[in-house]
A and B are shown apart, each in its own frame.
Chain A
Amino acid sequence: MKLNYKIIFHIFGLLFLFNGGFMLISALTSLIYKDGVVLEMFGAGLIILIIGAVSMLLTKNHKKELNKRDGYIVVAFGWIVMALSGTLPYVMTGAIPSFTDAFFETMSGYTTTGASILNDIESIPKGVLFWRSMTHWIGGMGIIVLAIAILPLLGIGGMQLFAAEAPGPNADKLHPRITDTAKRLWLIYFGYTAAETILLQVAGMTFFDAINHSMCTLSTGGFSTKNASVAYWNGQPVIQYIIILFMFLAGTNFVLSYFAFKGKVQKAIRDEEFKLYFKSIALFTIIASLIIYFKADFSVSSIEHPMVYGKGEASFRHALFQVIAIITTTGFVTANYTLWTPFLVVFFFGLMFIGGSAGSTSGGVKVVRHMIMIKNAFLEFKRALHPNAILPVRYNKKAVTGDIVFNILGFFILYMLSFILGALVFSMFEIDFESAIGLSASSLGNVGPALGDFGPVNNYAALPALGKWWSAFLMLIGRLELFTVLILLTPFFWRNR
């Protein structure tokens, strides 16, 4: 099999330049906040920039042709290469001396998972913290391109359905229009981030906290600059409501935002996936609010819960925040949901499998896939009565072809298998059942907080080294919609036939 190595390395070089550039921005932050690691940060940035530039120069005369196989390699290894290069600031500044930990933290960043191994976040130099949030933000940008332009082309998991401008599921080469689409969506992404930063600052955050949290919200990541995550602002509900709003937006399809800004608000609101996303959040929030209000005792939660506007508002806010944070796979926390009632533990565990909308930065299975699977399941009853009838699943009033439904069913089965295998491997590291399934679901869905020993108030530092690598792997395959990475593990991918 012949891969177009030159263009692959050219693209990797470009990714390095990109990464190096952002590292220099982080280094500037170090300079501004005088956190004492300015030189190390600049050094890391320069090294990555040089590697990138060399790689690009060496592969200057590449053929501008990228076929499907090259596409899979670029996507899967691109993420790995980014994660590897992203460890440099952690390692060089000594903020995270162990390479395993540094790799875990960067992978968690680029996959917008938000699981951390840092025990005392607040003691880390500000430049490094900024870099940590930045990995989320860069990962989010990557995911937008991935979801809107690349995965539909590769025909993965029915993603061709949701792409607004993909040239069609059969296109063999990546389309140049990707750049145009991506730029428009990045602009929205950037705009939302800027807007949230301003709002959070107005609401009382420091500028540094505001910009970091904004980057981590829009990428549905979940790294915080505080040890207590967003629970740090439990006394300032306005801040939490702003984060709720932007987590909600980050979990919607960015293409819909684009339509809305173009004045086609109706088109955005009428989108079936959006409607279901909104309705499920509403439903789950009502359930969780009622249970928190009547059943849960705030004092058992290990986090402080000042009742600024009374118990009713606090129940509602914490329910809404947790529901959105888990569904959009952001993973910010304002409360320890594992300590309230046994029902809520299972409830939030279940939410980890939902995911946000396709075309958002969120991970997980995605609302649209659930919708199509449920619709298809109901149609099966009808099909049993009318074996010869053509009963297509309808999405946004259009019939979905059978192979897309199969794609989605295949994806879901693979997802559940990966989840079970994931939990099984974790249990080999002497991790108890609840923690193991929590870790697996959380890593695979890019959520962040898990259950048991790795719940919302804990972190992943207690994982053994191998467990961290396994978790990082699950994050990667979950982030890249399984097929993209797993296909590289199949023998026929590498065969010439």
Chain B
Amino acid sequence: MKIIIAGAGEVGFHLAKLLSYESQEITLIDTDKNSLAYASDHLDIRVIKGDVTSIAILNEARINTSELFIAVTSSETTNITACVLAKQLGAQQTVARISNSEFIDQKDEVGFTKFGIDELISPENLAAAEIELLLNQYGFNDTYEFEEGALTMLSLRLSRTASFVGKTVKEAAQVFPELHFVPIAIQRFGTQYTIIPRGDTEFKEGDKVVFITSKGGDDELFELSGRVKTEIKDVMILGGSKIGSKTTNHLCSSKFNVKLIEKDKDIAFELADQLPNALVINGDGRNVELLEEENIKDMDAFISVTGNSETNIMSCLVAKSKGVKKTIALVENMDYYQLSQSIGIDTLINKKLLAANNIFRYIRRGEVVAMTKLSNMNAELLEFKVTSKSKITKKVIKDLNFPLSAIIGGVIRDDIGIIPLGDFQIQVGDKVVVCCLPRSINSIEKLFF
């Protein structure tokens, strides 16, 4: 597939990285020489220096033969213009990154497809949706739902009290004979490596473990991880940015009580005007006294989404020290993002990564039903639809020549999630969730196509 990515910022680079693993034919366009040089050094892609709204540059990238044009520069108007141009010049599909969420809400009324933009991606919207999902699945660090919850991916860090610390995967599975969950990836404490667990892999304290669960499995997991499940009700949000107000708006319309802290008085007033159900507080979130005055210790969750990554991380650490159960920090900087939970914050979100993943999912839509990258783990979660041509239906799972760096997490048959064992036979029409390291994506794909 021939893909042109306009904008070599973090979204563009990350996307190029994701796609280049799968040996797509990728062209990256940007005006900044340095980011292009960095991208071409690290990735197997073609780069063009130039303005993405220039017709000459687009032609140079051979837009007329491209299957997909993705505009992810930081400027919304540039993205829209570039997509419109690209479509007219022959690109089959276009994706634009935008920041004005009105465009997404009223996508059909305005008719973006009519003038050439097939998909709109708003990092801010994605981040807000992600935060809401995280709060609803409190207790787990990351969550992702397949087929409206038939299967759920959950990740959690093992504390000392977790009953399966020190046991192998096989031993842990025997505790619950009716298996509702399966571990699909483990990241050892303090390392950056991701392990795909086999039967003899041992759980250790501090491990971040990703599970696939079928319905009901999340409660069992909770019990095993040694925590008590409580509802999140009171939420404090720091920063009235687009993500902050969007999240507040979403949370207020469901069951949450939200306190929103914004530094700028005029913006705070605007927010108070738009969000009648939230309590908007004017003040600097780095001021611990202010946080205490607003009862931070009684909060169930603390979400920091200011424009400053350091502020977000530090204030989340403050919140954690005050006993807030769940903390989420927005981080722009990819390096911080890699540090993740080793610094003590439950979840870090990066809107650019979210955007890249979302676009990636959109691209893979044809063959893969859903796809996500495990956050700050070097593994991917793919959902395949089994067709009559798929080789995987030939044998039961244990007899398949399945790569060691991949694991079948679950199967969805007739909208019901199943955790398959070794003697499970995959059938045509099933949807299969696979976790794998990037290097085995191709061999996995061969099993399904």
Closest to A382 in B: B279
State A387–B293 Cα separation when bound (angstroms).
9
Query: Does A389 sit at the interface, judged by CB under 8 A?
Result: yes
Known: A386-B294, A388-B293, A390-B272. 9 other contacts (CB 8 A): A388-B281, A388-B282, A389-B280, A389-B282, A390-B269, A391-B272, A391-B280, A398-B273, A399-B269
| Contact status of A389 and B293, CB under 8 A, knowing A399-B269, A399-B273, A401-B269 | no
Q: How many A residues touch the partner, as a band?
A: 10 to 19
Query: Does A397 sit at the interface, judged by CB under 8 A?
Result: yes
Contacting residues of chain B (245-302) with chain A, CB-CB under 8 angstroms: 265, 268-269, 271-273, 276, 279-283, 290, 293-294
Which residues from chain B contact A390 at a C-beta distance below 8 Å? Answer: 265, 268-269, 271-272, 280-282
Determine if B269 and A392 form an interchain contact, defined as CB atoms under 8 angstroms apart. Answer: yes
Q: Is the interface of A mostly helix, strand, loop or mixed?
A: loop
| A-B contacts, 29 listed (Cβ < 8 Å) | A386-B279, A386-B281, A386-B294, A387-B293, A388-B281, A388-B283, A388-B290, A388-B293, A388-B294, A389-B280, A389-B282, A390-B265, A390-B268, A390-B271, A390-B272, A390-B280, A390-B281, A390-B282, A391-B272, A391-B279, A391-B280, A392-B269, A392-B272, A394-B276, A397-B276, A398-B273, A399-B269, A399-B272, A401-B269
Closest to B280 in A: A390
Which residues from chain A contact B271 at a C-beta distance below 8 Å? Answer: 390
What's the least CB distance linking B139 to chain A, in Å? 29
State A394–B279 Cα separation when bound (angstroms).
14
Residues on B close to A: CB < 8 A? 265, 268-269, 271-273, 276, 279-283, 290, 293-294
State A397–B274 Cα separation when bound (angstroms).
9
* The 6 A-B residue pairs with the shortest CB-CB distance in the complex, in nearest-first order: A399-B273, A390-B272, A390-B280, A388-B283, A390-B268, A389-B281
Which residues from chain B contact A389 at a C-beta distance below 8 Å? Answer: 279-282
Count A/B pairs, Cβ under 8 Å. Answer: 35
State A10–B224 Cα separation when bound (angstroms).
89
State A480–B268 Cα separation when bound (angstroms).
35
Closest to A401 in B: B269
Binary B-proximity of A373-406 (CB < 8 A = 1, otherwise 0): 0000000000000111111101001110100000
Contacting residues of chain A (426-470) with chain B, CB-CB under 8 angstroms: none
State A368–B293 Cα separation when bound (angstroms).
34
Closest to A398 in B: B273
Which residues from chain B contact A386 at a C-beta distance below 8 Å? Answer: 279, 281, 294
Closest to B272 in A: A390
Which residues from chain A contact B280 at a C-beta distance below 8 Å? Answer: 389-391
State A386–B292 Cα separation when bound (angstroms).
11
State A173–B294 Cα separation when bound (angstroms).
45
Which residues from chain B contact A397 at a C-beta distance below 8 Å? Answer: 276
What's the least CB distance linking B35 to chain A, in Å? 40
State A401–B276 Cα separation when bound (angstroms).
14
Of A386, A390, A394, A397, chain B has the most CB atoms within 10 Å of the CB of A390
State A388–B263 Cα separation when bound (angstroms).
10
State A394–B269 Cα separation when bound (angstroms).
12
Closest to A392 in B: B272
State A386–B293 Cα separation when bound (angstroms).
8
Which residues from chain B contact A388 at a C-beta distance below 8 Å? Answer: 281-283, 290, 293-294
Contacting residues of chain A (67-100) with chain B, CB-CB under 8 angstroms: none
State A392–B271 Cα separation when bound (angstroms).
10
What's the least CB distance linking A402 to chain B, in Å? 8
What's the least CB distance linking A84 to chain B, in Å? 46
State A46–B131 Cα separation when bound (angstroms).
78
Closest to B267 in A: A390
State A392–B278 Cα separation when bound (angstroms).
12
What's the least CB distance linking A435 to chain B, in Å? 47
What's the least CB distance linking A107 to chain B, in Å? 42
What's the least CB distance linking B405 to chain A, in Å? 52
